Structure 1
Amino acid sequence: MKIFRKTKLSNEKRAQQLLNNKQYDELIEYLEDKHIDGEMSADTFYFMGKAWCFKANEEKSLVLFNKALELEPEDAKIYTAIGKAYYWMDEDNKAKEFFLKAINYDKSQSEAYIGVADVYENAKEYDEALVWAKKALKYDKDNHNIYNTLGSIYMRMEKYDEAAKVFQKALNIADDVDFLYSNACFVYMMLEEHDKAIEYGAKSIDISPDNSTNHYYYGQALFNKGDFKAAIEAFEKALELESGDDIYIEHLKMAK
């Protein structure tokens, strides 16, 4: 098998396209064919690792990311990817370690800054989280995930007006992401703007009807508006998708 240390994946754009389209199985198959043909590079392992990470197999993705690092030990995006894998495995200290390594190799690595912000948010160090999220924004003003993290931090700080503003910015960039609408739904509930909350809750369901959280937030918005019948239907749907959830059960009882 031939290993090309410095050669980029010859069809990197194709791999990125499959990743962007969430065609993870197709991406893995495509890259495994490259493996069989002996066309291996750091990008091959990197994109395959990303695919497995999105398929919620972080341990397998870490194996592949480490192979990528062997070939490109100073590639910041690989360190960022490893940080994200550890983050999703709830290993925040390790995640932070790799995010900081990524920044050490590339000061403009915005996703690494936002990763550090997420770690601080989990630790309830919201002021520090806000600092790192704003650093990410300095390098990338067109990433909806950065605005989403900012919004999440503002929500936890109970700065709901600020949260609403940044969620709107996120939606201006990406209007097809369900969790942006469900987060906006929650914020508008806290601002007691019930019609807006219901509108955004409904949009989150239109985009991702199989996500129980979307139905739950939508149900809360309807409940706050006083539409108990519709709220019951929404909570029942949330329970249908995720049976046994204590919070959903509690809110369903309240609505009845």
Structure 2
Amino acid sequence: MDDIQDRNTNDGKNAVPIPFIRREELARPKDEQAWTDRGNAAAQAGNYEEAEEAFEQAVALSPADGRARYNLALAQQCLQDYGAAVAGYRRAIDLDPQLIDAYINLGNVYSELGLHREALETFQLAMELAPDNDEICLSVGEAYRIQNLFQDAIQAYRQALILNPENIAAADSLRDTRERVNDQLRRLMEQERRIDADPADPSRYAELASLYLDMRRYDEALSTANQMLSLDPDGRAGYDMLAAVYEQMDDRDQAAETYARIVAMDPDDAEAWEHLGTWRSLQGNLEESVNAYARSVDLEPQRITARFSLAEAYYDAERYDEALAVFQGLIESGQSDLLQGEDVAAAYAGLADTYNALGRYDDAIKTAQELLERSEDDPDGYYQLATAYDGLGRLDEAVENYHSAIVSDPLNADYYNDLADTLRKAKRYEEAIEVGQQAIAMDPSMLIAYETLAQIYTEMNRPEDAAAVMRQVEALRSMDEGGED
């Protein structure tokens, strides 16, 4: 296609996708090839809606063909239906792990969605397949740069220029990133001079520690925060900085202990109690998490984030009646205009989810319907409806609402897995396999998706396929155990 031959990879934004894959040279079933040809012709004419419809037919006829999935995802990308495109590219890669164009386009879509870590991981996978591709190296550099990982970005740009000295975009990005690094170093040196002028002033160390955090130089940031504490052991500033460093490092144990010390120093700080609740939750310490969130809400009853977190902590601790009370209170806050927009929708979704957990399916249906009346096409509304219908054994209605949830949020692997399980219950096994495989493609680390797929194969009397899937489960569990060690 002439209009999409040159791909702009400078920053991942508005990147023109890799062209549709033509397959005239491949032996294809006649009808499937006819749909592919029709899709390519429509895409050539810029009619991506018609191309999408044609490629959907091609996929229906050849669901295990990664290239057919790729073409459909590309049409969806051109229509800016990015969620569907991500799901399609991931499934295409799952079916054909060597399909490098799918990695490149997927990385670009992730960049469009602001999912920069996912974009980086995807471009790195593409680089493993094509280490001599300078454009992929450039994309890796852009993904690093947007996350302020400047040294890594510089290395990627240099590699792009090694592979292709004429890559102007890589040269420009390298020059810009180098200037950003130099600016950071200038600010660092200036702050060091300010500290030298008054080394007893803890506040000057705080600015230095913040600069180190921006540069991802965590050891220096920790050392500087500890220097603040040595100068003012009873002051908050040093502990606040220490907490900020541990948070950015995602060190849940040290972050939790630091916030525990902060609330001991200042027991009326609602924000600090909320942070403590978050890190206790991440530690898996549900009881202390609940207590911390409850304390935050007691101190500041209108602190909406803490109230949501308290409700979710009650839910995780299976204290469902208490979770109901908090979610209902949040909904009442919405009715009195203390809660707005997405927060109101989240409160209804949380309430419906809790009703489902209690087996109060009729109440869940009513609540989910109220959510959808307020927020049309809300994926959580459809998902909670589907869950409730599933619980009542109304499987066709459950399937319909799971599909609606996926249309509204195609990136949620849980939706695919639960739909696969419901299709299994309805004995719609071939559909269940397809959706279960999509769940795994969306989240390859999702153990329950493999288990669902294995159960489907077992009920279909395909023990070898079930055993192969369970071997994947055991391999993933072994990897998790190894990581914990």
Change (3 A) 1:24 1:49: farther
Alignment of 1:1-256 (within 5 A): 46=274, 49-50=277-278, 52-53=280-281, 56-70=284-298, 72-107=300-335, 109-141=344-376, 143-238=378-473
> Cα RMSD between the aligned structures?
4.0
d(CA) in 1 for partners of 2:319 and 2:403?
Answer: 31
Provide TM-score, normalisation by structure 2. 0.40
d(CA) in 2 for partners of 1:159 and 1:55?
Answer: 38
d(CA) in 1 for partners of 2:269 and 2:398?
Answer: 41
d(CA) in 1 for partners of 2:404 and 2:386?
Answer: 10
Deviates more, 1:44-53 or 1:207-216: 44-53
Q: Please state how far the C-alpha of 1:50 moved relative to its aligned partner.
A: 4.3
Q: Please state how far the C-alpha of 1:114 moved relative to its aligned partner.
A: 2.6
Tell whether the 8 Å contact from 1:79 to 1:101 is kept in structure 2 after alignment: no
Change (3 A) 1:140 1:213: same
Q: Please state how far the C-alpha of 1:240 moved relative to its aligned partner.
A: 5.8
d(CA) in 2 for partners of 1:142 and 1:42?
Answer: 35
Deviates more, 1:173-182 or 1:138-147: 138-147
Change (3 A) 1:212 1:153: same
Q: Please state how far the C-alpha of 1:113 moved relative to its aligned partner.
A: 2.4
Tell whether the 8 Å contact from 1:24 to 1:54 is kept in structure 2 after alignment: no
Tell whether the 8 Å contact from 1:75 to 1:105 is kept in structure 2 after alignment: no
Name the amino acid aligned to 2:390: M
Percentage of pairs with the same residue: 21
Name the amino acid aligned to 1:196: E
Q: Please state how far the C-alpha of 1:182 moved relative to its aligned partner.
A: 0.9
Q: Please state how far the C-alpha of 1:121 moved relative to its aligned partner.
A: 2.3
Change (3 A) 1:143 1:54: farther
Change (3 A) 1:113 1:54: farther
d(CA) in 2 for partners of 1:143 and 1:166?
Answer: 11
d(CA) in 2 for partners of 1:136 and 1:126?
Answer: 15
Q: Secondary structure at the match of 2:311?
A: helix
Whose Rg is larger?
A: 2
Tell me the equivalent position of 1:8. Answer: none
Work out which structure has the larger RCO, using CA pairs closer than 8 Å and 6 or more positions apart in sequence.
1
Change (3 A) 1:74 1:121: same
d(CA) in 2 for partners of 1:71 and 1:111?
Answer: 23
Deviates more, 1:212-221 or 1:171-180: 171-180
Tell whether the 8 Å contact from 2:320 to 2:358 is kept in structure 1 after alignment: no
Instruction: Give the unaligned 5+ runs of structure 1.
Output: 3-17, 244-256
Q: Secondary structure at the match of 2:302?
A: coil
Provide TM-score, normalisation by structure 1. 0.70
Instruction: Give the unaligned 5+ runs of structure 2.
Output: 1-234, 237-246, 479-485
Q: Please state how far the C-alpha of 1:139 moved relative to its aligned partner.
A: 3.1
d(CA) in 2 for partners of 1:160 and 1:209?
Answer: 26
Give the paired residue count: 228
